[in-house]
C-alpha cells in the first residue's frame, strides 16, 4: 500500500512515520509512506501556497493550484484522494478498514482557515474528520488516518491477530489488561487471568469489554454484534448488575 501525505509542513509528519510500528513497516517494505511538500507545487519565486479569502474574513486559505498540481503528479490509476477536513465523515474503525482496502491513498492536510472549495468539490474523492474539535492543520489527522490504516495491513503488527482484538475492531472497547507484577500497591491481577483456563479467560475478557463499553460508550452497543447470552448480560447491566463469574461459566 502507498500513502502520500501532502502538507505545507513536512517535518510535522516525517518524525512520527519514521518511528515505532510505522517506521518498521516502511523499512520492511510493507507500506510506502511518502511526505510531499506542497510548496514544491506552488508557482512563483516564493512558492506561495495560500492567500486571503475572497469576501474578507480572517485567516488564510490554501490555494487550489498547488493542490491540484500535487495530486495530478502523484495520482495513480487506483488512487483515492482524501481531504482531512472538519466537515468530513467522522473517522471510525469501519472507515479505516474501508481506506485500508485502497491501494493508494493521497491525504491532503488542510491548513489555516481551510482549502479553496474547488479542492473539495472537484479534487478530493472523500473528506474525513477525526473529531469535533479545532486543530491548527490536517497533519495530525493525516497521521491518525495513516496509523489506523497501516496497522490493518498484514504483517505490520507483530501479532497477526492483534488488530482484530483492538478496541473498536469488534465494535466494543477493550477490557482491562495486566502484566507483571501480580500484585502492585495492594492491587492484584484477577485470578481468572492466572488460571490457565483460556476459555474462561476469553469469556472474562469479553464480559469486561461489554461492561466497560456499557459504562463509557453505551452507544457502541447499539450496533455491536452480540450473542443472545451477551445481550442478556447487557440487560443485566441496565438493571444495575455487573459481570460476575457465574456468567463466565455459563456463557
Measured over the CA atoms of residue 177, residue 180, residue 183 and residue 189, the dihedral's sign is positive
From the list 85, 111, 116, 151, the catalytic residue is 151
From the list 65, 147, 166, 236, the catalytic residue is 166
Domain with CATH 1.10.1270.20 in the chain: 170-250
Of residues 162 and 209, more confidently modeled: 209
pLDDT at 95 over 60: yes
Q: For residue 166, what pLDDT is reported?
A: 57
Residue 23 CB neighbours (<10 A): 14
Residue with cell 501525505: 5
DSSP 53-79: PTT--SSEEE-HHHHHHHHHHH--TTE
Q: For residue 164, what pLDDT is reported?
A: 56
From the list 65, 113, 174, 236, the catalytic residue is 113
Looking at the domain that runs over 2-150, which CATH code has it been given? 3.40.1280.10
Q: For residue 158, what pLDDT is reported?
A: 75
Q: How far is CA 203 from the centre of its chain?
A: 27
State the average pLDDT over residues 160-181: 76
Name the grid cell of 214: 456499557
Name the least confident of 5-9, 144-148, 154-158. 154-158
pLDDT at 167 over 80: no
Q: For residue 168, what pLDDT is reported?
A: 64
250 — pLDDT class (breaks 50, 70, 90): low
pLDDT at 162 over 70: no
State the average pLDDT over residues 219-229: 92
Q: For residue 249, what pLDDT is reported?
A: 56
| Structure confidence by residue, pLDDT tens digits, 17-27 | 999 999 999 99
Domain with CATH 3.40.1280.10 in the chain: 2-150
List CB contacts of 79: < 8 A, sequence separation 6 or more.
102, 103, 104, 105, 106
Integer Cα distance of 128 and 85 in angstroms:
6
Residue with cell 498484514: 154
Reply yes or no on whether 151 is catalytic.
Answer: yes
Looking at the domain that runs over 170-250, which CATH code has it been given? 1.10.1270.20
Q: For residue 241, what pLDDT is reported?
A: 87
Integer Cα distance of 16 and 11 in angstroms:
9
Reply yes or no on whether 183 is catalytic.
Answer: no
State the average pLDDT over residues 102-121: 95
pLDDT at 161 over 80: no
From the list 10, 66, 86, 141, the catalytic residue is 86
Q: For residue 245, what pLDDT is reported?
A: 61
pLDDT at 63 over 60: yes
194 — pLDDT class (breaks 50, 70, 90): very high
pLDDT at 5 over 60: yes
Mean pLDDT of the chain: 92
What residues form DSSP beta bridges with 50? 62
Q: For residue 57, what pLDDT is reported?
A: 86
pLDDT at 169 over 70: no
Reply yes or no on whether 113 is catalytic.
Answer: yes
Amino acid at each position: 500500500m502507498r500513502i502520500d501525505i501532502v502538507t505545507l509542513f513536512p517535518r510535522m509528519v516525517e518524525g512520527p512515520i519514521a518511528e515505532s510500528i510505522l517506521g518498521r513497516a516502511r523499512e520492511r517494505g510493507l507500506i510506502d509512506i511518502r511526505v510531499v511538500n506542497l510548496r514544491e507545487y506552488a508557482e512563483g519565486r516564493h512558492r506561495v501556497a495560500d492567500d486571503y479569502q475572497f469576501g474578507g474574513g480572517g485567516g488564510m486559505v490554501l490555494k487550489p493550484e498547488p493542490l491540484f498540481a500535487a495530486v495530478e503528479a502523484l495520482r495513480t490509476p487506483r488512487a483515492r484522494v482524501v481531504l482531512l477536513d472538519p466537515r468530513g465523515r467522522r473517522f471510525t474503525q469501519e472507515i479505516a478498514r474501508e481506506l485500508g482496502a485502497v491501494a493508494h491513498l493521497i491525504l491532503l492536510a488542510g491548513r489555516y482557515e481551510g482549502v479553496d472549495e474547488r479542492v473539495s468539490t472537484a479534487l478530493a474523492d472523500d473528506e474525513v474528520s477525526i473529531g469535533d474539535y479545532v486543530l491548527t492543520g490536517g497533519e495530525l489527522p493525516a497521521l491518525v488516518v495513516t496509523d489506523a490504516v497501516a496497522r490493518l495491513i498484514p504483517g505490520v503488527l507483530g501479532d497477526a491477530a492483534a488488530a482484530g482484538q483492538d478496541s473498536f475492531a469488534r465494535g466494543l472497547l477493550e477490557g482491562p489488561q495486566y502484566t507483571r507484577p501480580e500484585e502492585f500497591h495492594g492491587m492484584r491481577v484477577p485470578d481468572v487471568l492466572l488460571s490457565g483456563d483460556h476459555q474462561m479467560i476469553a469469556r472474562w475478557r469479553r464480559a469486561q469489554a461489554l461492561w466497560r463499553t456499557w459504562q463509557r460508550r453505551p452507544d457502541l452497543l447499539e450496533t455491536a454484534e452480540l450473542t443472545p447470552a451477551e445481550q442478556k448480560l447487557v440487560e443485566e447491566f441496565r438493571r444495575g448488575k455487573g459481570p460476575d463469574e457465574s456468567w463466565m461459566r455459563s456463557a
